[in-house]
Amino acid sequence: YWLCKLDILQLRVDLMNARIPLRDILRRVNKYFNDWQQYEYYQLYVELHQIRIQVLLELKQDDLAEKVFGAYKEYLEQITENTPEEDKNNYLEVNLYKLTQLRKFNLVPLRSRAKDLRRKWNELLFNIANVYNVDRIKFLIEKGIHEVLSPWQFRLMEYSDRIQNYTTFHQYNSDNSSVIDPLLSQDIDKAMRSDNLVLSEIDGRNMAIIPLQTGSKRVGYLVLNDDGELPYTKQELSIMRSIKQHLSGLIVRIQDFSEITLRIQKMNDLMQISHELMRIVEISDLEHEIVSSAIDFTNAGRGFLIKKDSDGNNIYKVQIDKQKQILSNVAGVSKSVLSLSQSTLEMVSTYNALEDNRFKA
């Protein structure tokens, strides 16, 4: 009992802390309602009802608050059924049973968050402006989204031109290896096509898809969901629309910064490789080291050094895998790609030679 009472006291303290989102508090209230069903802690249940009503009123969810107030009155009637009439009336009066104007319900002290949400997001943007560490930026984005929207889960996806698909940039309260629910696919496509916020519901949880674009260029999307505690409020929807462009700009900035950082790193790696190759004097050793370094530099799975003999035949001088083991065969090397490169004396790059129109007969 006392552990549950401590949870109630913590809720009351958090209600007076404007930095703790009301949605988070409401989510905990719902959890306690479910977790404490096996107990007969009548007064604690009364307090949970009161906190829920007060939060819903503050969030301007009057219809839901009326519904909860009705359940609250029924519960008060139930627990006072066999109570002496005078004691019952006093208890009901203290707990505002006969209240007719629900807006006057004031049993639980609460500090308003209405004016703080946009300020918190603006503070986040200011803090990120001078941060260039990607992990730190991810931390600040998570912190900001939690403070202004308090989702139960979210996943921020970024679009990759290289693979023509989306990859996870950051996620909260979900497995990084898990995939986006297939039921959301149509809603995601709709959001990206319309460049507008799309709402849906899956398994009782309220979902929001925020498309991230700059002009006509895809940047990614943000998927938020609650734990079924409350449909998104007008203020939350307004904030989602507001952060849409901010997140798009942040993702583009991070992508540009990551690309520049990677290029600098690759240039340093290339200079180091060149320096090491200059030390090798034996041709066979040099050929092997060139392929080995190229595999490491490009993170390839295999590498080959192919020369032409005097009759124009291709001779595989080096054929090794990522572990630098000699390959027993050269299966999978596209002759069309090889022929094009040899005839043009230029580099040929392709993600899938079978689907590349340059190599289709």
DSSP string, 212-251: EEETTEEEEEEEEE--SS-PPPHHHHHHHHHHHHHHHHHH
User: For the chain, how many residues are written?
Assistant: 361
> pLDDT tens digits, the chain, 361 residues: what are they?
889 999 999 999 999 998 899 999 999 999 998 888 888 888 999 999 999 999 999 999 999 999 999 999 999 999 998 889 999 999 999 999 899 999 999 999 998 877 766 777 777 777 777 777 788 888 888 888 888 889 999 999 998 887 788 888 889 988 766 667 778 889 999 999 999 999 999 988 999 999 998 888 889 999 999 999 999 988 889 889 888 888 888 888 877 777 777 788 888 888 888 888 888 888 888 999 999 999 988 888 899 998 888 888 888 888 999 998 988 888 778 787 888 888 888 888 877 767 777 776 5
Residue 292 CA to residue 304 CA, distance in Å, equals 9
Q: CA-CA distances (angstroms) from residue 226 to 18, 91, 186? A: 20, 35, 20
Residue 236 CA to residue 225 CA, distance in Å, equals 12
User: Residue 321's CB: how many other CB atoms inside 10 A?
Assistant: 13
The DSSP H or E segment spanning 21 is none
DSSP string, 165-182: EEEEEEEESS-TTPPPPG
Half-sphere exposure of 42 (CA within 13 A, CB side): 9
Residue 253 CA to residue 266 CA, distance in Å, equals 20
The tokens for 197 are: 């916020």
What's the predicted TM-score (pTM) here?
Answer: 0.70
The phi and psi torsions of 115 (rounded to 5 degrees) equal -85, -10
What is residue 310's three-state secondary structure? coil
For residue 114, what are the contacts with CB-CB under 8 A and spacing of at least 6? 235
